[in-house]
Amino acid sequence: MNDKPKYFNAGGKLIDLSTPKVMGIINITPDSFYSGSRFTDEKEILAAVSAMLADGADIIDVGGYSSRPGAAELSPAEEGKRVFPAIKLISGAFPDAIISVDTFRAEVAARAVSECGAHIINDISGLDGDKDMFNVVKDLNVPYILMHMQGTPLTMQKNPEYKDVVADILKWFGERIYRLQSAGVRDIILDPGFGFGKNAEHNFDMLNRFGDFSIAGLPLLAGLSRKSLVWKSLGISPSEALNGTTVLNTIALMKGADILRVHDVKEAVQLVKLIGMLRR
C-alpha cells in the first residue's frame, strides 16, 4: 500500500496531515438539507466562521448550490452571486483562513480562487459536471477535492447500482487521478462521496472498507456529517444526528480519514484530539 502524502499546499501554506484536519461547512443556500448550515446574512456568515475557527476548524468550505438529493438546479450566475461575496467577506475578515469553494462549475471555481480568495476547489462531480473544470484545475493548480457521485443531485438516488461499490469507485478515481497528475496537478484529495448516488448498503459498505481507498496513495476526505445514512438509519431528523455523525466520523478516522467535512466543528476537533491520543 502506498504511503499517503503528509502535506498539501493551500494558499502558500503547508497543511500538515499527520493530524487529521476538520473542514467546517458554510452553505450560502436557502435549501441545504440541514438548516443549521444555512447562512445568507453577512453577520451570520462572519459569526459562523468566527465560531468555527475558534473551535479549531482548519478549512472553511463555502458552497452556494444545494446538492441534497432532488435539489433544484441553479444557474452559474446565481451560484456566483451567492459564493463570491461570501468568500471575499471571509477572506477579508479572516486572512489566515484556508477556504475551499464547493462547486462543480468551472467558472465559479476559477473566479472564487483567482478573484475572491479561495484556496481549494471541492468538486462534487469529480470533473464530470463541467467540461472546463479540468483546465481550471490544471491552470490554477490548487488543491482539488475529487469526489465521486453517480448521476447528478437530481438523479443520484434513483436506484444507484454498483458491482462492488469500493472497487468501482477506485477504478473511477484511478482514471481521473491519472489525467490530473499527467497534467501536473500536485495536490489531489479523494472523497468517495457518501450519500451521492449510494444507498444505505453502499454507504455502510464504503465506510466499513474506507481504508481500501488509501491504496490510491492520496489524502482521504470523509463527508458523513448529519447525512441520511445517519438519521434515516436511526429514524430521527438531521438536527438530531450529531451523535450518530460522531460515531461514523470516529470509524472514518480509525480507517484512515485525513479530513472530516462537518457541520459541527467543535465536536469533530475534540474527536480528532481523542483519536490522536490512541496513536501516541
Residues 6+ away with beta carbon under 8 Å from 43? none
Say what angle helices 200-208 and 165-182 make with each other, to 10 degrees. Answer: 70
Q: Is 203 exposed, middle or buried (0-12, 13-18, 19+ CB in 10 A)?
A: buried
Strands (E), 143-187: 144-147
Question: Which one is catalytic: 227, 255, 273, 280?
Answer: 227
- Cell of residue 173, nine digits: 478515481
Evaluate whether 140 touches 114 at the Cβ level (below 8 Å).
yes
Q: Which amino acid is at 128?
A: D
Tally of CA atoms within 13 A in the half-sphere of 262 that contains its CB? 33
Answer yes or no: 261 catalytic.
Answer: yes
Answer yes or no: 171 catalytic.
Answer: no
Evaluate whether 121 touches 100 at the Cβ level (below 8 Å).
yes
Question: Which one is catalytic: 68, 82, 226, 261?
Answer: 261
Distance between CA 38 and CA 25 in Å, rounded?
A: 9
Phi, psi of 14 (to 5 degrees): -85, 120
Distance between CA 201 and CA 203 in Å, rounded?
A: 5
Evaluate whether 277 touches 258 at the Cβ level (below 8 Å).
no
Show which residues are catalytic: 227, 261
